[in-house]
Amino acid sequence: MNTLIVSQENEIGYIYFNRPEQANTINEEMIEELEITIEQFSQNDKLKALIFRGYREIFVSGGDLNQHQQMSGNQVYPLLYRVGKLLDQIAKLNVITIAAVEGKAIGGGCEIVSSCDFCVASSSATFQFIQARLGITTAWGGGSRLMKKIGTKKGLQLLLTGEQISSHQGHHIGLVDWVYEDEHFTHSLKKLLKKLTRPSKPAIYTFKKMAQLVESGVSPSQIYPLEAQGCAECWDLEKHQKSVNYILSPLLKQKSNE
Ligand SMILES: CC[C@@H](C(=O)O)C(=O)SCCNC(=O)CCNC(=O)[C@H](O)C(C)(C)COP(=O)(O)OP(=O)(O)OC[C@H]1O[C@@H](n2cnc3c(N)ncnc32)[C@H](O)[C@@H]1OP(=O)(O)O
C-alpha cells in the first residue's frame, strides 16, 4: 500500500491515511487501496472494530483537488459516486467504525467522519465541511449522513456556512462523541476501544444491525425477531455462561444478602 498504513491489533483494525506531503488528500490510488482494504476487513471474522486515523496535524483534507481540477462535471461524477459507494460500504460494516481525528478534518475528511458510527477527537481537532466555500456540495453521501447524525437544521447550517468548528463544538452538536486531550489521545482511544469491544462478536453484530435498521426507519415491532435471534446466538457463548455463573455464585448471593 502506498497511501494507507493498515494494521490489526487483536480484534481491532486500523487504517491510517498516509499521504502527509499532500495533507492526506484522497486521490484515486487511495480510493483503490481503501476499496481493497475495506473488502478485506469486511471478510475478517475476528474483527470487532475498525479505526480510521490520520496524523497529528491532519486527519484527511478531502478529495485531491489537483486530480479533480482537470475534470468536467460529467467526468468527475463516476469518481464521486465511487467514493460514495465506498463510504456507504463503511457505514454498513458489521463492526464498530470510528473516525479518530487529530488535527484537521476538511471536506471529504468530514464525510468520512459522518460515515463512521463514532467520532473520537483530540481537543485541538477541527472539522470543516468546506464544500460550499468551494462552490460545490458534499459528494460522497457525507452531507445527508451529517444531517441524520445531528439533525437537518444544524447539518444545513454547517454545510451552508462551511465554517470550521472545534472538537468541543462538534461534541456539543453530536458530530463528535468523545473528546480527549491531545497528549493522551492514543492512550484514551485505546481505553475506550477496550470498553466498546468488550461484547462478543455476535453481540456487536446484532447491536449494529439493530442500529442500521432503526436508522432506516424500521420499527422495533419489526426488529424484535432479529434481537431475539441475536441474543439466542450469544446465549451459549462462554462469556455469557461465565458471567451468569458468577452472578449466581453462592458467594456473591451471600454478599448481596449481607
Ligand atoms: C472533491 C471532494 C470534496 C468532497 O467530496 O467533500 C472535497 O473534499 S473538496 C476538498 C476540500 N479540501 C480543501 O479544500 C483543503 C484545502 N487545503 C488546505 O486548506 C490546506 O492545504 C491544509 C489541508 C489546511 C493544510 O495546510 P498546510 O499544513 O499549510 O499545508 P499546505 O497547504 O502546504 O498543503 C500541503 C500540500 O497539500 C496540498 N493539498 C492540500 N489540500 C489539498 C487538496 N484538497 N487537494 C489537493 N492538494 C491539496 C497543498 O497544495 C500542498 O501541496 P504542495 O504545494 O505541492 O506542497
Cell of residue 218, nine digits: 424500521
Compute the distance from residue 160 Cα to the ligand 1 centre, in Å: 20
Measured in residues, the chain has a length of 258
pLDDT tens for each residue of 29-68:
999 999 999 999 999 999 999 999 999 999 999 999 988 8
**Which stretches of 83-152 are assigned E, i.e. beta strand?**
96-101, 104-106, 118-122, 126-128
Given pLDDT bands bounded at 50, 70 and 90, which one contains residue 254?
confident
Alpha carbon nearest to ligand 1 atom 49, residue: 22
Given pLDDT bands bounded at 50, 70 and 90, which one contains residue 134?
very high
- Tally of CA atoms within 13 A in the half-sphere of 46 that contains its CB: 7
Q: Are 128 and 60 in contact (CB under 8 A)?
A: no
Given pLDDT bands bounded at 50, 70 and 90, which one contains residue 252?
low
Q: Which of 3, 17, 21, 22 to mutate to test the pocket of ligand 1 (most atoms within 8 A of CB)?
A: 22
Task: Supply the DSSP symbol for 166.
Answer: E
Q: Is ligand 1 within 6 A of the CB of residue 68?
A: yes
Cβ contacts of 199 within 8 Å, gap of 6 or more:
207
- The complex's ipTM works out to 0.95
pLDDT tens for each residue of 59-90:
999 999 988 888 999 999 999 999 999 999 99
Q: Which residues pair with 26 in a beta bridge?
A: 63
Other CB atoms within a 10 A radius of the CB of residue 162 amount to 14
Task: Supply the DSSP symbol for 121.
Answer: E
What pLDDT score was predicted for residue 249? 82
Taking CA 140 as the corner, what is the angle to CA 197 and CA 19, rounded to the nearest 5 degrees?
70
Tell me which fold the domain 4-196 belongs to: 2-enoyl-CoA Hydratase; Chain A, domain 1 (3.90.226)
Q: Which of 58, 61, 127 to mutate to test the pocket of ligand 1 (most atoms within 8 A of CB)?
A: 61
Compute the distance from residue 26 Cα to the ligand 1 centre, in Å: 10
What pLDDT score was predicted for residue 239? 86
Distance CA 138, CA 128 (A): 11
Task: Supply the DSSP symbol for 21.
Answer: G
pLDDT tens for each residue of 166-221:
999 999 999 999 999 999 999 999 999 999 999 999 999 999 999 999 999 999 99
What pLDDT score was predicted for residue 242? 87
- Name the residue ranges covered by the structural domains of the chain: 4-196, 201-257
Q: Are 49 and 97 in contact (CB under 8 A)?
A: yes
Residue 253 has pLDDT above 90, yes or no: no
